Structure 1
Amino acid sequence: MKKWLSISILVIFLLGVFTYTASFYNSLSAHNINKGNKRKVLNQVKLTFWRNNGNQAENQAYKDLVTSFEAAHPNILIKMQSIPYSDYELRLRTQIASGNPPDIMTIDSPNLALYANAGSLLSIDQYMRKEGQLGDIPQATLDGLTFKGKIYLSPVVESSIALFYNIHLFKEAGLPLPSEDPNKPLTWDEVVKIAQKINNPKMGVYGIDPAQGFGDGESPAYFKIPLLWQFGSQVLSPDGTTASGYLNSKEALSALQFYQDLYHKYGVASVELPPGAFEKGKLAMTVLGSWTLADLEKSNPNFKLGVDFGIAPLPIEKQHIVPNGGWALGISSGTQYPKEAWEFIKYVSSYEGIKKYVKETGDIPARSSVAKDLSEFNQYPKNIFFQQVQKYSMHRPITPAYPVVSDAIRVLFEEVGIGGKDVSLSALEAMEKINIGIKQIEK
């Protein structure tokens, strides 16, 4: 009996020792794990990311991308800041000038040369050529992200514009609907004839808004420069050093005269249109961007594609050309973490990153493979925008003086469109303004 009692006491003692030892080691292990986690946090790279604030879908898409990136890269923290579009450029330039730029930033692609020339952007050429899978991105898109032979930005989505038309107004006038084939656009002469048949100013009905009216910001240049291209003109020389002989060429003057005639000779365009003119049956045709399709359907649920309105490729003149470009990702030259910044950009602009983004937003993907794998971009109407980007798109002029170019184009089209000013004189003034801006940059 004593023997079994001794054995029992020994077992209890050993169990106690075992329990204490296990507890001690578990505690030690937990301590070491927590210590390791603290080390990871202490060593975590924090990157600031500035972007222009978009619509709800765009904002959510970026939040999701940041979350998924951080989950896959626990050593990198992305501090994203969204800034209203109207304030973005000024705040970004102020931040850069103060010596405290964000590590990663979105840049509207036509402004690329301004930042690159000032030394504010880091060239990502070596990264893009090694890991960017450039063969999956249209050359016209890459050209718009390149300055002096080096790539500075990586794209996520692309953009395009097309002719939107009111089906009811076409049917009331007994007119056939335009072709939905991306390769069979109307000519501008055909558009004028259609507009004349529908136009009825007494009833407040107009034939066309050819290039998004007269607004501010980058919109005028984006929508109106393509008209110059279509008539065979360019804004600047190929090397970007002058507007002389280009913006005032006979082709450019023909484009400007045609634009002016829509308002003052034919009277099929109006300087002032009531809000929602297109949806309310007061405007037969309008040129809109690819990004407005979703907004149009959401804001006007009773105005439906295929029933109330349709989409056709952008009209042509001598050439079939549409604008491209949009907000792309770049790295500040002042960042201390270029490799980590590239990891984020590489992820967001990868096949998977872009696919996630466009599923949320409906925008045109910058990568051809994404568009081919998503059926919506191979079907009407998004196939029109996608194929135009692939086959017929061109970037706006690449010059450090682009803000001057953009403003000069805005004023030029306002003068000939609203004021009916002599196109030759207006073109000459715009040309001189741009040349002065280029010379100032060169100095």
Structure 2
Amino acid sequence: MKRRSFLTGAAALAAMAVAGCGSKESSSSSAPATIDPDTTANLTLAYWDKNQTGTVTANIKSFNEKYPKVKVTTNLTAYADYWTKLKTQAQGNEMPDVLWMNGPHIQLYASNGMLASLDGLTSQGIGWGNYPKALVDLYSFDGTHFGIPKDFDTIGVFYNKDIFKAAGVAEPKAGWTWDDFHQKAKAISDWGKSKGVWGCAAAFNSDAQSTYYNTIPQADGFVIKDGKSGYDDPKTIAGLQCWTDWIKDGSVAPSKVATSTPPDQMFENGKCAMFWGGDWMASQLATDLKGKEETFQVVELPKGAKQATVIHGLGWSVAEKSANKAAALALAAHMGSEAAQTMEAKNGTAIPAFNGTQDAWVKTYPQWDMQLFVDAASDYAVPYPVSKNTAVWADKEPDYLTPAFSGTTPVPTAAKNLADFMNAALAKEK
């Protein structure tokens, strides 16, 4: 799921930290890690993606084979309303027992005492080494685990083989560099100028997860570290400057083009040869380009000073004030188990986080090199940048960076101004 969708409506949620919804300290309490098979309890499970209802239902069914007297009621809420509803529930101490959590919100809920510690789940088969370390770190706060990684997203470059061939440009290969990407994108844009075809299109103004959240670590920079912004770091600035340079010489479509027609639509319509996107795009492309699957492929991101991709994913969390915490912990452990995530893989909608279960997902799209998304998670992924109140500064990134990408404000100036704003916001979190 795209970065911007994570933060829709999230700014209001930051008010939780000052609304007194719970303790300012992380929860350290825990219930027994196992429950008796005859345990009787009523649980609610909250999630937002109706496309995953089949998987959720199947895994609840297998949970009930072990615990037949635990009734699980699912609560599906559209993403646009999910976090607003959860905020209200948290303030009223009525949170669902088990729920989906994401990176931009985990620290806010954990730091306010809304989530239960999951450290005791090792006795239920939850070994933290079974998941990508970057995700385990993302769902930890103050040394405590508050989320079991459910699935993950990494980023690659989708490309149209027919356009490359028509333009006389060699297809990209693993191990390619920024220079390789630039040369190919520029050559295709020059060839396609009269045809309205760009070398690359990217949603850099609205989707940092697919764009500069990757080039920043590729340049050996960072967005946030030790409670400080990295936007004024020279290496981070280099990870932003590349987009401005690529846009300036026509290699990448300018924001007005990519805003009027999203990059994925441009790609499907043959108006760009490449676009940077996450593994979540596979399902959409397989549907929209059915019968034309052989016309495109995907390759790993090009290298800058180093190889990197940002990683994000969802997690299973448990409400600290659940009336049936032991049963809720057992359900969360089941949903994060190898068996449950194998079911997730067969569904094909997301890459399961449990190591070794991803092969079924890869085989869902045999026509493309989807293994690269899985390999990236273990080989060179960096965690999605978050803080306690992520939305406060992340929502403002486009305000500062859009003028830089368009060339109206020097990148160093825009980055320094963003760093100042971000550091002021981060200082208020302490």
1:219-298 to 2 correspondence within 5 Å?
Answer: 219-221=207-209, 223-237=211-225, 239=226, 241-243=227-229, 246-271=230-255, 272-273=257-258, 274=261, 276-298=265-287
Q: Provide the residue aligned with 1:197 in structure 2.
A: 187
The one-letter code sitting in structure 1 at the alignment partner of 2:245 is: D
Q: Using a 3 Å threshold, how does the CA distance of structure 1 residues 375 and 103 change in structure 2: closer, same or farther? A: closer
Aligned residues: 385
- Unaligned residue ranges in structure 1 (runs of 5+): 1-41
Q: Matches of 1:151 and 1:411 in 2, distance apart? A: 34
**What is the distance in 2 between the residues matched to 1:108 and 1:375?**
23
Map residues 67-86 of structure 1 onto 2, 5 A cutoff.
67-86=61-80
TM-superposed CA distance for 1:301, in Å, is 1.1
For residues 9-158 of structure 1, the aligned pairs below 5 Å read 44-54=40-50, 56=51, 58-128=52-122, 131-158=125-152
Q: 1:369 aligns with which of 334, 342, 356?
A: 356
Q: Distance in 2 between matches of 1:135 and 1:372?
A: 18
Matched residue of 1:277: which SS? helix
CA distance in 2, matches of 1:86, 1:128: 34
Greater CA drift, 154-163 or 406-415:
406-415
Once the two structures are aligned, what percentage of the paired residues are identical? 21
Alpha-carbon distance in 1 for matches of 2:180, 2:39: 64
SS in 2 for 1:284: strand
Q: Is the 8 A contact 2:101 2:316 kept in 1?
A: yes
Q: SS state of the match for residue 123, structure 1?
A: coil
1:321 partner letter: A
> Does the CA-based 8 Å contact 1:145-1:154 persist in structure 2?
yes
1:311 and 2:307 are equivalent in the alignment: no
Conservation of the 8 A alpha-carbon contact between 2:44 and 2:96: yes
Aligned to 2:391: 403
Q: Identify if the C-alpha distance between structure 1 residues 287 and 121 changes in structure 2 by more than 3 Å, giving closer, same or farther.
A: same
- Cα distance in 2 for partners of 1:383, 1:428 equals 38
Return the offset for 1:353.
0.3
What whole-Å deviation, never above 9, does each CA across 1:165-194 have from its counterpart, x for those lacking one? 011110011122222xxxx33211111110
Query: 1:221–1:406: 8 Å Cα contact kept in structure 2?
Result: no
Specify which of 206, 210, 214 is matched with residue 205 of structure 2. 214
Query: In the superposition, relative to structure 1, how do residues 92 and 419 fare at CA in structure 2: closer, same or farther (>3 Å)?
Result: farther
TM-score under structure 1 length normalisation? 0.81
Could you say which residue in structure 2 is the equivalent of 1:320?
307
Deviation at 1:387, TM superposition (A): 0.4
Equivalent pair of 2:204/2:210 in contact (CA under 8 Å): no
Match for 1:74: what amino acid? P
Structure 1's 316 and 377: CA in aligned 2 closer, same or farther, altered over 3 A?
Answer: farther
The alpha carbon displacement at 1:343 in A equals: 1.0
Q: Deviations over 1:352-373 (max 9, x none)?
A: 1000111012422211121357
Matched-pair contact (CA < 8 Å) for 1:230–1:318: yes
Which of 317, 336, 344 is equivalent to 1:349? 336
Contact 1:110 1:395 in 2 (8 A): no
C-alpha distance in structure 2 between counterparts of 1:319 and 1:227, whole Å: 10
Deviation at 1:81, TM superposition (A): 0.8
Aligned CA distance change for structure 1 residues 66 and 418 (closer, same or farther; 3 Å)? farther
Residues 265-288 of structure 1 show CA distances to partners (whole Å, capped at 9, x for unaligned) of: 345323224362112221011011
Deviation of 1:258 after TM superposition, in Å, equals 1.2
